[in-house]
Amino acid sequence: MKFNILVNEGPYTHQASDSAYQFAKAAVNAGHEVIRVFFYHDGVYNANRLSAPSVDDRDVVNQWVRFADEYEIDLAVCVTASLKRGILSDQSALRYGKNVDNIEKKFQVAGVGYFIEGSIIADRTIVFGD
């Protein structure tokens, strides 16, 4: 089965990101395919490379990066949601006159159409968060 995953919540304020990560990992380990993981609303905070959790806490951003690298999973953040929340690619930072970009390079910036495309390709779309 092919899954498209939508994450709507940030990594440290809600269980949604952890649940999405555990689901995605279990799915690929069971032989299923994860087409992509799309981060929307506060879920875009999962791509913030400047987050610095304490050593005794999980590093959600790096969990997603390691997962995507290991299984060749596509990670995407909504362009509009990320701009509103200050999650900027190098191109966005330059365009809007900001002095730093903070999106983890493994994540790509995309429009909602990219999420919809994933839903068309996938057998199921699973949503985590409100």
CB 41 within 8 A of CB 129: yes
Calpha distance 125→70 (Å, rounded): 21
In the chain, the number of structural domains is 1
Name residues whose C-beta falls within 8 Å of residue 117's C-beta, 6 or more positions apart in sequence.
Answer: none
CB 71 within 8 A of CB 33: no
* pLDDT tens, position by position, 8-26: 999 998 999 999 999 999 9
Q: Has 68 been annotated as catalytic?
A: no
Calpha distance 62→83 (Å, rounded): 21
| pTM of the predicted model as reported, rounded to 2 decimal places | 0.95
* pLDDT tens, position by position, 64-115: 999 999 999 999 999 999 999 999 999 999 999 999 999 999 999 999 999 9
Domain that holds residue 14: 2-128
- Pick the catalytic residue: 6, 68, 76, 78? 78
CATH code for position 67? 3.40.1260.10
CB 114 within 8 A of CB 122: no
